[in-house]
Structure 1
Amino acid sequence: MMDHFVDTGDGKEVHVPLRVIQNGDGAEVMLTLFRQPGMDDEMFARDAKWITRDLRALKNFITG
């Protein structure tokens, strides 16, 4: 389990669940993005895009 909390800059923290699960000789990384109160579609899509970028970077780092 690699859950973490993101500081939103306004005194609040957002919980971000992250799991790494063995799959054969490799692993699966799963991150859950929760839509926060007051978050519109554009804000949610922007966060999802950042997470996708970060997960791709992780994959590239691991697979070389």
Structure 2
Amino acid sequence: MRLYHYVTTAQEVEVYVPLRVISNGSGSEVLLTLFRLPEMSEEQYAEDLKLVEQDLRTLKDILEE
């Protein structure tokens, strides 16, 4: 399943974040591609990655309830 996932940054820029759900045996895998925007520093990208990891952990917790 392909999801059209967009995020709006603090600067009001809409960014496409590719997200896929792929079946895997009796479960599934969620794949997300996080692009580093040209204007992002390494530190900003690392912070963005932390936020995405938190969101994915939350998704996992919800789906496993």
TM-score over 0.5 for the alignment? Answer: yes
User: Cα offset for 1:24?
Assistant: 0.4
What is the count of residue pairs matched by the alignment?
A: 64
Matches within 5 A, 1:1-64: 1-64=2-65
- Cα deviation digits, residues 19-39 of structure 1 (max 9, x gap): 000000100000000000110
Structure 2: runs of 5+ lacking an equivalent: none
SS in structure 1 at match of 2:3: coil
User: Cα offset for 1:4?
Assistant: 1.4
* Whole-angstrom distance in 1 between the partners of 2:31 and 2:57: 12
* Whole-angstrom distance in 1 between the partners of 2:29 and 2:45: 23
Q: Compared with structure 1, are the counterparts of its residues 55 and 11 closer, same or farther at alpha carbon in structure 2 (3 Å cutoff)?
A: closer
Percent identity reads 50
* Whole-angstrom distance in 2 between the partners of 1:24 and 1:15: 29
* Whole-angstrom distance in 1 between the partners of 2:41 and 2:49: 12
Compute the RMSD of aligned alpha carbons.
Answer: 1.2
User: Cα offset for 1:7?
Assistant: 1.8
